[in-house]
Amino acid sequence: MYSDAFCKIYNEFGWNYFPEAFGEQLLAWLKEHQITVRTSLDLACGTGVLCEILHSSGIQASGMDFSEGMIEIARSRNPSIEYEVADMISYRPDKQFDLVTCTGDALNHILDLNDVEQIFKNVFGYLGAGGWFIFDLLNEKEIPSQEPFDLDFNDEVHSQFAVTQDADGVITLKTTVFENGRLQFEERIHEIVHDRETVCSLLEKTGFQIQKCSHQLLEDSEGEAATWYIIARKPLL
Ligand SMILES: C[S@@+](CC[C@H](N)C(=O)[O-])C[C@H]1O[C@@H](n2cnc3c(N)ncnc32)[C@H](O)[C@@H]1O
């Protein structure tokens, strides 16, 4: 769970660019494939950027996240979107959705593959028949930089970010924030790079059909993203 202080940093730092880009591409992909989505759920929705984009396109979007600070920011962004604070490993809403998303390497925050499998089973349960599950995963090329970097938010607030990886592959993002030279807080976020083949076989074991696993969501995008985009579908019958 992210602390409230880190949620504010996340919102100000500019990490929202990812769900913005993802949202635009997702809408283009849905249009290209003539898929109509009426209801959506964004798992680990963070500051609600993707929900806001889907809501603006006419979808009845909702989101959940287990960091209260993220949900507070998401609610203030758009109070008419439904948000819940919950852990996606145990979250089983009693509604069905046409689309479930999980972006910004949120699934890489789930360190244990048994928990990832449990999330897939949950999603399968609350997706309607023919519904889509679209998410991203860090890829093996996302080797963390060992070089810490600094960022000045303003004259008083200064932060340092450092990314390291241990022998078991666990990545730690350490954020340290100073105000007027005095330490304000330190936060460590842990992630892991899951093996793509293993993730895909867990999806298939759950009952999903894998429609796509690619470096790009859209066919005509250039280059290779540092992310895998996975599109899975719950069969119609
Ligand atoms: C890197 S942020 C991505 C947020 C958002 N999806 C985006 O693209 O900006 C990862 C998010 O995952 C959430 N998260 C991590 N583990 C979670 C869990 N077990 N259940 C729900 N949310 C979780 C964190 O609180 C955080 O908001």
CA distance 123 to 117: 10
Tokens of residue 40, six digits: 């959506």
Model confidence, pTM? 0.94
Closest among 51, 57, 39, 134 to 95, alpha carbons compared: 39
Distance 237 CA to ligand 1 centre (A): 31
pLDDT one-digit tens code per residue, 171-217: 898 989 888 888 888 999 999 999 899 999 999 999 999 998 888 77
Q: What is the pLDDT of residues 72-118, one digit of tens each?
A: 999 999 999 999 999 999 999 999 999 999 999 999 999 999 999 99
User: Measured on CA atoms in the order 131, 137, 141, 142, is the torsion positive or negative?
Assistant: positive
Mutation pick for ligand 1 pocket among 3, 8, 67 (CB with most ligand atoms within 8 Å): 67
Nearest to 184 by CA among 1, 33, 26, 3: 3
Which helix or strand (DSSP H or E) is residue 120 part of?
A: helix 113-126
Separation between Cα atoms, residue 152 and residue 63, nearest integer Å: 31
